[in-house]
Chain A
């Protein structure tokens, strides 16, 4: 039984991403994938999503631009980011993302599906400090 969650997955398309979409689709009711900033924002404006999952290291830094755009449009939007960079918690990027809004959490590649499901399903109960962002 799929859970009634609407998830927007934004990342450059690759084989691993398709697998992620398949996995998320088995778990949640609505999973839409956008490969770039333009499609992602177009989709976001037309639909309501419980959570947006954004890859930070997208081509031309579009991951950050997408987050900024969504924040401007809906500051309460739950946003979960993932990155391949083992980021220092004291770095600007990490702190900014984590402290400006409790609506954003971050996970690290390689993505553990169980962790991802947990983040999605318990997003509101997580604090920044508890977020698995190294």
Chain B
């Protein structure tokens, strides 16, 4: 306040120096009680007095002349006078006037003739004839608010009220205080205010100076403040408004006003508090947004780092025309590499333009499908070829929340080529394996054949033994017949006896033939057979040979059981093992008393045939080779080396059994084992 006062004094000093003449003002003709004309055409009225008092308090004189409102307003605007005492502040006037603070605020009112019942509010004036003073704020108000289509202006308000009182026109719109003053002065008894307070027609009155005249404005504000605080203002109010019913708020109004102010202050406090809270929230939110923005930036950096460093090709497509086509939005480094494209050259282009064969690939249709249903979809490795590039690719397509489509793809060309090469190799390998298998089968067939020839050799030897016995008997019988004849012993009875004996031998020969023939006929189908019988038959076939070599063959049928398989092949296997035992015995120190013990037995789990000899056993160094084909310890004339190989094949492959051996004290024992469930 002190600073304002110092500044005002300084301005006053400056003004006094430059404006030595009296301040010029003007007043309108008839705006009672604010502006009136006294005798001698001098200005008077409340506003004139206030201006005089304000300038006087600031040690200034002022003179007035009287003219219509339009005139004096124009004079101030054009600088012919310095100040006007009573100017309502409007936005239009602010463009060319500067105003002091208002010293009086008034509200407008509607005046009608007493007894008028259809006019109470502004709305009721719609089709009525309304009187206002020309150029007054009231005219601006009624026209701005379009209160009525029938607005009539008068030079001053006195005339307007007289016209209304005389029964012409329907209403007057004016400042309430002005209207009441005129009614009193003119003694108009049939006009009164409707009581409606026109809130839109509130007018604050100030002193007005030419725009930019800050020095005078400061003096006026200072002076006005003085008169309002030193009692002058109150005194002038009493002078000019006494007896009127000025628009002075009553107690109830003041109470309401105070309450309103309190409410406004409370509201203001709440608003300020809310504003402060809001400001804090805004600050917090701003920080959060800033942090989010930084996070977003980091996320984007991470995304682009991942995007560009991922080992898959990746392209982002933006759909156009509802997914009828797609524009390339982005592509990563691997994608450029796989697709042999340059990012800057393809961004913004249609996918069908960059990859013209994408529809033939079927990928374009997948794009559309994913775009429409939002479901991710993959495409198995397929060939993309458009004349520019030819690659095998595997795609995975999904839709982003933004609606863009992402295709992640891998180059499978190398794998495909390797696969093709592998398939070729496999094909060749299969052919080689098939050829090898065929050769092996052929070799096995040959081995089997050789084995059979070997066995046949053994059997032929056995046949020789078996046959010579009955042949010898027949020969002796025949020779005996001749001698019996020579010794005259021959008669019918003798001949019949000899014939019968001869036939027995001949039948025995025939049986031998049948036995051996059966031996060489391999069984076509598996069947059940008695194990002891087969062992006996094998032993019988070899018995003559064994006896000749002084080798005793003992067969003990401890358990009489049946096996399921090929009996003749088993017989061949037994002959092989027994024959090997015989050869071993003949080379050993036990050659004079060779012994081969065969036991047919079974236990809980298996049925077995053991063949044990006293031929010295198998040397440790050749144990692992005894089953190898063409491995033999015999003279070439004696062995082919396939006997045990074929024996093992017969036992384990044809019969489903197992062949094993182990050395004993003075020989070796081979065991043929057949699991019970395997032979059941």
Q: How far is the CA of A76 from the CA of B668 in the complex (A)?
A: 39
Partner of A85, one of B465, B471, B475, B586: B465
Flag if A84 contacts B476 (CB, 8 Å).
Answer: no
- Tell me if B16 is interfacial: C-beta within 8 Å of chain A: no
Which residues from 62 to 76 on chain A have a C-beta closer than 8 Å to any C-beta of chain B? 63-64
**Segment at the interface with A among B118-126, B177-185, B282-290, B545-553:** B545-553
Give the docked Cα–Cα distance between A57 and B543 (Å). 9
Looking at the assembled complex, report how far the CB atom of A95 sits from the nearest CB atom of chain B, in whole angstroms.
Answer: 12
- Give the chain A neighbours of B487 by CB distance below 8 A: 26
B140 to chain A minimum Cβ distance, whole angstroms, is 158
| Cα–Cα distance between A61 and B595 once the two chains are bound (Å) | 10
Q: Would you give the shortest CB distance from B547 to chain A, in whole angstroms?
A: 4
Question: In the complex, which of the residues A15, A20, A61, A113 contacts B550, with contact meaning CB atoms closer than 8 Å?
Answer: A61
- Does the CB pair A61–B483 fall under 8 Å? no
Q: How far is the CA of A64 from the CA of B552 in the complex (A)?
A: 11
| Bound CA span A78–B632, Å | 41
Residues of A within 8 A of B547 (CB): 56-59, 61, 63
Contacts A61-B550, A85-B548, A93-B548 given; indicate if A15 touches B464 (C-beta within 8 A).
no
Contact at B472–A16, with CB atoms within 8 Å?
Answer: yes
B149 within 8 A of A: no
Closest to B547 in A: A57
Contact of B439 with A by CB under 8 A: no
Nearest-Cβ distance from residue A1 to partner chain B, whole angstroms = 12
CA distance A23 to B475 in the complex (A): 12
A125 at the interface (CB under 8 A from B): no
Q: Is the pair B472, A15 in contact by a Cβ cutoff of 8 Å?
A: no
Query: From residue B488, how far is it (CB to closest CB) to chain A in Å?
Result: 11
Q: Does B239 lie at the interface of the complex (its beta carbon under 8 Å from any beta carbon of A)?
A: no
Cβ distance A74 to chain B, nearest Cβ, rounded Å:
20
B306 is an interface residue with CB less than 8 A from chain A: no
Interface string of A15-27 (1 = CB under 8 A from B): 1110110110010
Q: Which residues of A contact B475 (CB under 8 A)?
A: 16, 109-112
Interface residues of chain B: helix, strand, loop or mixed (majority): helix
Q: Check if B544 sits within 8 Å of A26, measured CB to CB.
A: no
Using CB atoms, name the residue of chain A closest to B469: A84
Judged by a CB distance under 8 angstroms, whether A100 is at the interface is: no
Q: Which of B410-469 contact A (CB under 8 A)?
A: 464-465, 467-469
With the chains together, A22 CA to B505 CA distance in Å?
18
Q: CB distance B550 to A111 under 8 Å?
A: no
B474 is an interface residue with CB less than 8 A from chain A: yes
A23 neighbours in B (Cβ, 8 Å) = 476, 479-480, 483
**Shortest distance between the CB of B582 and any CB in chain A (Å):** 12
Contacts of B586 in A (CB 8 A): 92
Which A residues lie within 8 Å of B593 (CB)? 61
Contact partners of A30 in chain B: CB under 8 A = none
Determine whether the beta carbon of A17 is less than 8 Å from that of B464: no
B591 at the interface (CB under 8 A from A): yes
The minimal Cβ–Cβ distance linking B425 to chain A, given in whole angstroms, is: 57
User: Which chain A residue shows the least CB distance to B481?
Assistant: A19
**Chain A residues within an 8 Å CB radius of B546:** 61
Complex contact A16–B505 (CB within 8 A): yes
Apart from A60-B552, A64-B550, A111-B475, what are 9 other A-B pairs with CB-CB below 8 Å?
A15-B477, A16-B505, A19-B476, A22-B480, A26-B483, A59-B547, A61-B547, A61-B550, A87-B548
A-B contact pairs, 18 of them (CB 8 A): A14-B473, A16-B476, A16-B501, A16-B505, A19-B477, A19-B501, A23-B480, A23-B483, A57-B465, A57-B547, A61-B551, A83-B548, A84-B472, A85-B464, A85-B548, A93-B550, A112-B475, A113-B479
7 nearest A-B pairs in the assembled complex, by CB-CB distance: A16-B473, A84-B468, A110-B475, A57-B547, A19-B480, A109-B472, A15-B501
